[in-house]
Amino acid sequence: MLQKLRNIFLLLVLSIILIVPVKSEDLPDGFPLCWMDEINNENFCPININLGHKLFLVDFTSRWEPKQVDWIKGRIFGNTITRNTPPYHKITYIKLDDTAPESQKVVYSKCRFKTGNKSKYPGEEFNDDCESEAIVKQAYQAWQTTLKKVEKTFFDSHIKDAKQSLIIEYIANILREPKIDFMGDYPERKLIIVSDLMQSSDRINFYRFCRSVVTLKKPDVCPSFEKLLKKKNVKHYLDTIKPKNVQNLKVEIIFMNHSYQTKCKLGKTLIPLWVDLFKYWDINIDPVDDITYELDTKDTC
């Protein structure tokens, strides 16, 4: 009789476990379950944990056409951010322009607030034990407003050409400067680079390096990364600025085609050059999965 009662009790306990949802399921230790007590009101980020960081580096050293602005807006702003970023992961935007990398200011850096609704991400729904659904959704709208304000003016400087394009230096600076908050203390980091990848500096200049004939007006073909490394000063420079904490880093590239500056076919050799450069820094990029190419409707340029 006693054994029968024990079995009934175990069945009741098991039934309760199966029926009652576990709100902390699949959530890391420190994940904010009650946002008003565990979130920084200034940047919407968790107080006790770093969950992830997605940083957009957007290249403004070449002129953009209106269609390019429209395309990029849809990829780095709006609902795309909510759909592709888990709750409480930080989102940062930095412009790459004539400003020295060390002096460049972050345009925006706040954490993506949760919507309060069910989604593919754990922790997205409001917690009825300590949160109001209405207040959570108001907070989400407040976060969205901050992002929309940045989007409104972000592309205002897209019609100018810069004197140089320090893409390599900007990447190195982002990966080593504590003030940008993109160091290895985040378990997940994603750097998304929006650029034509045409490095241009006195030390490394792809406008000169990527020409099959010196007299060509536009770069057309890039030699291999191995050839670039044969320049001892370039190899020494890349070794000197090589990032150290890249184990939990993922890099994606949105490749812009500025055909007024380069030959259309340049990307076929420019992309492998960059893939090998990142590999030299122990960062792996899949040319198929990690690079998105702008549509190119011109046959020759």
Phi, psi (deg, nearest 5) at residue 5? -65, -40
Q: Is 9 helix (H, G, I), strand (E, B) or coil?
A: helix
**CA 264 to mean position of chain CA atoms:** 26
Q: Is the pLDDT of residue 60 over 50?
A: yes
Exposed/middle/buried for residue 5 (C-beta within 10 Å: 0-12, 13-18, 19+): exposed
The residue that leads in pLDDT, 298 or 153, is 153
Neighbouring-strand partners of residue 91? 54, 110
Report whether CATH 3.40.50 matches the domain 35-293: yes
The least confident of 12-16, 70-74, 177-181 is 12-16
Question: Among 139, 155, 168, which Cα is nearest to 93's?
Answer: 155
Residue recorded with tokens 């044969």: 230
The residue that leads in pLDDT, 257 or 255, is 255
Which pLDDT belongs to residue 171? 98
Q: Is the pLDDT of residue 55 over 80?
A: yes
What is the pLDDT confidence band of residue 96, given thresholds at 50, 70 and 90?
Answer: very high
Q: Is the pLDDT of residue 246 over 50?
A: yes
Can you tell me the mean pLDDT for 233-260? Answer: 91
Q: Is the pLDDT of residue 159 over 80?
A: no
Q: Which amino acid is at 94?
A: I
Which pLDDT belongs to residue 134? 92
Q: Is the pLDDT of residue 258 over 70?
A: no
Can you tell me the mean pLDDT for 194-203? Answer: 94
Which pLDDT belongs to residue 25? 60
Neighbours of 270 (CB within 10 A): 21
What's the CA gap between 148 and 138, in Å, rounded?
Answer: 15
The residue that leads in pLDDT, 55 or 127, is 55
Rg (CA), the chain: 24
What's the CA gap between 222 and 271, in Å, rounded?
Answer: 9
Cα(first)–Cα(last) distance of the chain, in Å?
88
pTM of the complete model: 0.88
Edge to edge, the sheet with strand 108-111 lists: 108-111, 90-96, 53-59, 189-195, 249-255, 291-293
